Chains A and B, each alone.
Chain A
Amino acid sequence: GQNIDQPTEMTATEGAIVQINCTYQTSGFNGLFWYQQHAGEAPTFLSYNVLDGLEEKGRFSSFLSRSKGYSYLLLKELQMKDSASYLCAVRAASGGSYIPTFGRGTSLIVHP
């Protein structure tokens, strides 16, 4: 099975930087994804890591360490619209297919 842990809730101030951590235990690791989900909406893709290191995409960056089973999502220059739930998802190979498993999500509240 898989175990994915991330904080339940975080708060930050507009304009600041926030880091959301995700730890995982899995066999057949084949990639880690971050998704953003606004209340009442579907999750949308933010970033993808399969090799160790940092991937940067505008105000969002994601880091992966496979040996430590650890990833983080870094959000810079926070805006009010960044208030949302952030889902860490691990893709694992199972019997020739790929199964994405999601963490419980981190609810980020951005204050003025």
Chain B
Amino acid sequence: NAGVTQTPKFRVLKTGQSMTLLCAQDMNHEYMYWYRQDPGMGLRLIHYSVGEGTTAKGEVPDGYNVSRLKKQNFLLGLESAAPSQTSVYFCASISSGTEGANTEAFFGQGTRLTVV
């Protein structure tokens, strides 16, 4: 049972380069999220998806794009990387469940991205 898998785990980019982070989950969850985590800032929501083919902006969406072409995959793209995007990126998935139900978030192992 793999849960949530992120690739790659580490990456160094030069300013202006592009890359795509892949998140894959095998739990048939409806909701998927991309967060970034910076020292002292906690987890901040970049984009999220409530189902296949749908995406929405979170708290810090600028400089990122996402796609959810398949239910199990949620891709995060950086079109032109900047040093301010140096961070640890976490993907999470949640079952839709019923209102009030315990629907904990399952996280991937994280991607440590450095933009130089």
Contacts and interface: CB of A to CB of B under 8 A. Distances in A.
Partners in one complex: yes
Interface of A: 8, 30-31, 33, 35, 41-45, 48, 50, 87, 89, 91, 93, 96-105
Contact of B108 (A42, A96, A98): A42
Nearest to B30: A97
A30 B99 contact: yes
A104 B105 contact: no
A87 B33 contact: no
Contacts of B109: 41-42
B42 A87 contact: yes
Given A44-B107, A100-B105, A102-B43, 7 more contacts: A30-B100, A31-B102, A45-B105, A98-B96, A99-B45, A103-B42, A104-B41
B42 A42 contact: no
Given A31-B100, A50-B100, A100-B105, A42 B110 contact: yes
A89 B100 CA distance: 15
Contacts of A104: 40-42
B50 interface: yes
B48 interface: yes
B104 interface: yes
Contacts of B48: 97, 99
Nearest to B59: A101
Given A41-B109, A42-B109, A33 B104 contact: yes
A45 B104 contact: yes
B34 interface: no
Contact of A97 (B35, B45, B50, B106): B50
B94 A98 contact: yes
A8 B40 CA distance: 8
A9 to B, nearest CB: 11
Interface string B84-110: 000000101010100110111111111
A17 B105 CA distance: 27
Given A97-B31, A97-B50, A102-B43, A42 B104 contact: no
Contacts of B92: 100
